[in-house]
Amino acid sequence: MRLRPLALAAVLALAAACGADPSTPQKKEEPALTGGPAERAAQLVARLSDEDLAGQVLMPYAYGSSATEVSPGSAAGNQKLAGVDTPAEMVAEYHLGGLILVGFSADDPTSKNQTTTNVDSPQQVLDLTTGLQKAAAKLPAGAAPMLVGTDQEYGVVTRLRDGVTTLPSAMAFGAAGDPRLTEDAWRAAGSELAAVGINVDFAPVADVLGGDGSAVIGSRSYGSDPKKVAEQVSGAVRGLQDGGVAATLKHFPGHGHTTGDSHTDLPQLRQDRATLDAGDLPPFSAGIAAGAKLVMSGHLDVRAIDPGTPATFSRKVLTDVLRGQLGFKGVVVTDGMNMAPAEKWPPGEAAVRALNAGNDLLLMPPDLKAAYDGILGGLRDGSLPRERLVDAATRVLTLKFELGSKPAPAMSIVGSAAHAAAADRLAAAAVTQLRGNCQGISGPVTVTAAKGRDSTRATLVEALKAAGVEVVDSGGTEVHLIGYGDERADLSKTAAVTVAMDTPNLLAQSKSPSLLATYSSSRASMRALAGVLAGKTPPSGSAPIDVPGLPRTACAA
């Protein structure tokens, strides 16, 4: 029916009063999403454009400690990476499903692909993650929260260090050998990550350390016994996810039996299939059984399964073994796409190859626009089947809805006394005596350390004084500290006690009559060491790897 001029004028006036532009077609309001996380994810995916789907499977890093206000240098970094100035603009421009917060320290073996840092303090991280979530909420997929991840393994790979409870390394957990302590400590740590807005942790490391001791993994591993590592991984997964953060098993199918570094090379796993199944896969199977939400694919040449192809790009490894044999149904995330084995192909082609292999989330592409355009180009030319992208995006959104159902803990729990106590219990149980008597030392103590470890030395001095031990600048019983990356030249020829704060392998070359291992230089580990040196607590840990010429422990049970 045609409206008379007066009636039409009334309609226009009513539309204007309601704030609508009558010349613009009005968007149809979508029905509310219903059901559980998987059902809501499927409903949402059905509404999304190809551009939205492409963005949901990308998890880049960004420059800047704020979502919206960055320095000129950070803006330049974001322009090079993604053609925008700020992290919030990156989220909007590429419809991002996630973003990883990065950072590094001098002892970090993963620093080769960490070119910036966005982590400083708990409040700064909360402000950043809040800004990212505000930007993501404006997207068509904004009904689900954004994935905000980081590598908080503890030990040498710890992104957020100040103002939070820091746990010892994975190897310290292995030395303590008590999955209940593991679960408690990771629950405390997970709740702190959740409080500052981080909902995905790329931990725990599920790699079993081989006899040659993969240098890039080292103390990031829980040990060399597949069964014991599996127990520790399960405890870490349960604790972390009870704390409100999704756990990630890495680096599938296992980075511990190679001396290569996948940041710069393509390491080869030369085990036969039976050895791989028995020696590397059990912690991944256990972590999956414990409910791990993600598994990270490794840039590893698995000779027994798909020789010459990095596992990240191998359908045989990810789809046939991880999905088929191990039954994993969660999100498969790549290791950094800016690492050398992944940069064999241009970023767009690499993105398509990784998705086709079975990955659902692409981490740290070196050129975000190229990766995004490559995914859309793959849809157009058929090299990336749309159903594969839909499948990946659905898994990602399912995870996001699962995480969004849990309220964030209050900031007051961050660095709390209760959490520090959980870290202290674990650290105390980890201290291991590999040579010498197990009764502590008497008289004044002089603490020395390998070059560059003055901060840790000061921490131990403070802890020793708190434990009632007299500390003198010289002339006392020398306690010498060594850590990650130290070599024979860093050993002291005069120390009565040498302490390994990373893998204990170097202790095999020390002449000190007393050898101890903390596996970590965290404050909790230094407090635990002080207790042992003061004779107040026994060194009850047992080395989770073999050290040539030394027992797992010199102390009777």
- List pLDDT tens digits, range 46-80: 999 999 999 999 999 999 999 999 999 999 999 99
> Do residues 515 and 434 make contact, with C-beta atoms less than 8 angstroms apart?
yes
Q: Which of 152-156, 259-263, 479-483 has the highest mean pLDDT?
A: 479-483
The answer on pLDDT for 150 being more than 60 is yes
List Cβ neighbours of 327 (8 Å cut-off, separation of 6 or more): 288
- The β-bridge relationship of strands 152-154 and 157-158 is antiparallel
The pLDDT of 435-462, averaged and rounded, is 95
* CA-CA-CA-CA dihedral for 184, 120, 202, 114, to nearest 10: -150
Cα–Cα separations (whole angstroms), residue 507 to 97, 138, 258, 428, 502: 46, 55, 22, 20, 10
Cα–Cα separations (whole angstroms), residue 101 to 128, 147, 240, 321, 529: 10, 11, 18, 30, 32
Q: For the chain, how big is the Rg over CA atoms in Å?
A: 26
Q: What confidence score (pLDDT) does residue 16 get?
A: 46
pLDDT band at 406 (very low <50, low <70, confident <90, very high): confident
> Do residues 86 and 75 make contact, with C-beta atoms less than 8 angstroms apart?
yes
- CA-nearest of 536, 548, 533 to 481 is 533
Q: How far apart are CA 51 and CA 28, in angstroms?
A: 20
Least confident range from 75-84, 102-111, 330-339: namely: 102-111
> Do residues 354 and 363 make contact, with C-beta atoms less than 8 angstroms apart?
no
Percent helix, strand and coil across the chain, each to the nearest 5: 45, 10, 45
> Do residues 370 and 347 make contact, with C-beta atoms less than 8 angstroms apart?
yes
pLDDT band at 2 (very low <50, low <70, confident <90, very high): very low
pLDDT band at 107 (very low <50, low <70, confident <90, very high): low
Residues labelled as active-site residues: 263, 335
Average per-residue pLDDT in the chain? Answer: 92
The answer on pLDDT for 451 being more than 50 is yes
Cis peptide before 226 (omega within 30 of 0): no
Give residue 304's identity as a one-letter amino acid code: A
Terminal alpha carbon distance of the chain: 93
The answer on pLDDT for 456 being more than 60 is yes
Buried b (16+ CB within 10 A) or exposed e, 450-483: beebeebbebbbebbeebebebeeeebbbbbbbb
CATH of 37-63+72-409, one of 1.10.1660.10, 3.40.50.970, 3.90.550.10, 3.20.20.300: 3.20.20.300
* Domain boundaries of the chain, sorted by first residue: 37-63+72-409, 431-533
The answer on pLDDT for 24 being more than 50 is no
Q: Is 415 left (phi over 0), alpha (psi -120 to 50) or beta?
A: left
Query: For residue 487, how many other CB atoms are within 10 A of its CB?
Result: 10
pTM above the 0.85 mark?
A: yes
Q: How far apart are CA 524 and CA 327, in angstroms?
A: 37
Least confident range from 240-249, 333-342, 527-536: namely: 333-342
Q: What confidence score (pLDDT) does residue 463 get?
A: 98
In percent, the amount of the chain with pLDDT more than 70 equals 91
Give residue 485's identity as a one-letter amino acid code: G
Of 115 and 491, the structure prediction assigns the larger pLDDT to 491
Q: How far apart are CA 557 and CA 546, in angstroms?
A: 18
DSSP string, 260-295: --TTTS--EE---HHHHHHHTSHHHHHHHHTT-SEE
pLDDT band at 115 (very low <50, low <70, confident <90, very high): low
Give residue 347's identity as a one-letter amino acid code: P
The answer on pLDDT for 21 being more than 60 is no
Q: What confidence score (pLDDT) does residue 17 get?
A: 45
DSSP 8-state code for residue 345: S
**106-66-243 Cα angle (round to 5):** 70
The answer on pLDDT for 290 being more than 70 is yes
**Can you tell me which residue has the tokens 């990065």?**
102
The pLDDT of 232-255, averaged and rounded, is 97
Reported as half-sphere exposure (CB side, CA atoms, 13 A), residue 466 has a value of 14
- pLDDT tens across 79-93, in order? 999 999 999 999 999
Least confident range from 110-114, 138-142, 483-487, 494-498: namely: 110-114
